[in-house]
Amino acid sequence: MKSLNHVNLDSIQAFQEQAKKEHAKVKKTQIIEGEWILENGNCQFQAALKYEKGETVLKCDSPTFMGGEGTFPGPLHYCFYGLLSCYTGVFVTICSMMGIELKKVKSKVEGDLNFSKVFGLSDEPVVEEVRVKLFVESSAPEEKIKEAERLASERCPAVYTMTHIIKFSPQLEILKSERPSTV
């Protein structure tokens, strides 16, 4: 197995070859199902994330100013974690495909948030700016590392969702309750 920077290059190359022959291979549907926990004293939301070799349950609780107890990461923690891990992963993968050996990679995400729209106080954007910074240690030429970073910015799925309009299709299915509402 040819690997560089903890990236299996043989696996990537094999998938690229398959995708060249059968373009449909590059299309995937991500499905996550979750549930809001109605009882106090626990997380507010949880979802099982199924992946190739297992499953992990993630729990979420809003910060106190949003009505939660602040006892678990909030939704935006996971959102920013997803962005940071995706961007870092795409960068490292591109470096590996370009033959750039990395000695260390750290990353940081900062987001300026404005919750006034959430509370119906204004129509200002909820997310004002997001900054991602990579800290890279490598003996590779600086130009090659900058090229890898440029390509990561162009190719990262999480960055794409932030920089392009994506079709959002909410659906609501109302299930009838046996007991009358107490509200």
Query: Are 111 and 46 in a shared domain?
Result: no
* Domain assignment of residue 175, yes or no: no
Do 66 and 109 lie in one domain? The reply is no
Instruction: Report pLDDT digits (tens) over 78-103.
Output: 999 999 999 999 999 999 999 999 99
Domain-terminating residue out of 73, 95, 123: 73
User: What pLDDT is attached to residue 66?
Assistant: 95
- Residue 180: pLDDT over 80: no
Does this model's pTM top 0.85? My answer is yes
Answer yes or no: do 142 and 124 share one domain. yes
Residues 138 and 112 in one domain: yes
Q: Which domain holds residue 40?
A: 32-73
Is 80 exceeded by the pLDDT of residue 179? no
Strand partners, 50: 55
Do 97 and 141 belong together in one domain? Answer: yes
**Are 46 and 98 in a shared domain?**
no
Instruction: Report the Cα 65 to chain-centroid distance in Å.
Output: 24
151 shares a domain with 83 = yes
Q: Does residue 7 lie within any of the structural domains?
A: no
Task: Report the C-alpha gap between 31 and 60 in whole angstroms.
Answer: 18
Q: Starting from the edge strand earliest in sequence, which strands make up the sheet with 45-51, in order?
A: 33-36, 45-51, 54-60
Pairing of strands 33-36, 54-60: unpaired
